Amino acid sequence: MRQNTRRSKLNLLTNVNSTYAENSPEGRKTLSDQFFGFLTRSLFRGLQNMCTPQQRERGKEIDSKTADAIAEAIGDRAKEMLYIDGLATAPAEQGRGYGGAVLDSVTKEADAQKRMTWLISSNILNTGFYNSHGFATVGTFVVGDKNPEWKEPPIIVSIASSILSIISHHAS
């Protein structure tokens, strides 16, 4: 497992190109972080211009519901917590423990820093995986529930926080 730590970001890779997690604590951003953020925002703005008005409206709904759910479930503590910005494993590599190893490494680092960890998951099927690595759902919201043109089942989005970190922080 390779680990690249910087002041504002922790990236973990295992079995290169199969599992990746990005952790983004609050803090001073490096020049490369600022450039990547600018590039990402520019890309998303460009993609938004190609979206239909309905797609832009759904994006606003998701952003608003996400912000409200985070404020309710985590509140100001989010600034002191490690946020798992993304965790992905290549489909061919899933079920081999790579994602769990990366997730455990992030929570171990959080515990060493005496910080809690949190994440957002839009796949309800991942709940058991996160629970088995010490996370519990602390908030949920639904996307697509009030859109008459939505043809798929509503998406349940969960906010989860590390149980072990929460217990160790409340005990100290």
**pLDDT tens by residue, 37-48:** 777 777 766 666
> What DSSP string runs through the chain?
-EEEE-SS-EEEEETTTTEEEEE--SSPPPHHHHHHHHHHHHHHHHHHHHS-HHHHHHHHHHHHHHHHHHHHHTGGGGGTSEEEEEEEE-GGGTTSSHHHHHHHHHHHHHHHTT--EEEEES-GGGHHHHHHTTEEEEEEEEESTT-TT--SPPEEEEEEEEHHHHHHHHH-
**pLDDT tens by residue, 55-88:** 778 788 888 998 999 999 998 888 888 888 878 8
For the chain, domain boundaries: 2-171
- Residue at 65: amino acid letter: K
* Share above pLDDT 70 across residues of the chain, in percent, rounded to a whole number: 69
**pLDDT tens by residue, 133-145:** 999 999 999 987 8
pLDDT of residue 136: 92
Whether the pLDDT of residue 25 is over 60: the answer is: no
**pLDDT tens by residue, 152-168:** 888 899 999 986 444 44
- Cα radius of gyration rounded to whole Å, the chain: 17
pLDDT of residue 172: 46
Q: Which CATH code fits 2-171?
A: 3.40.630.30
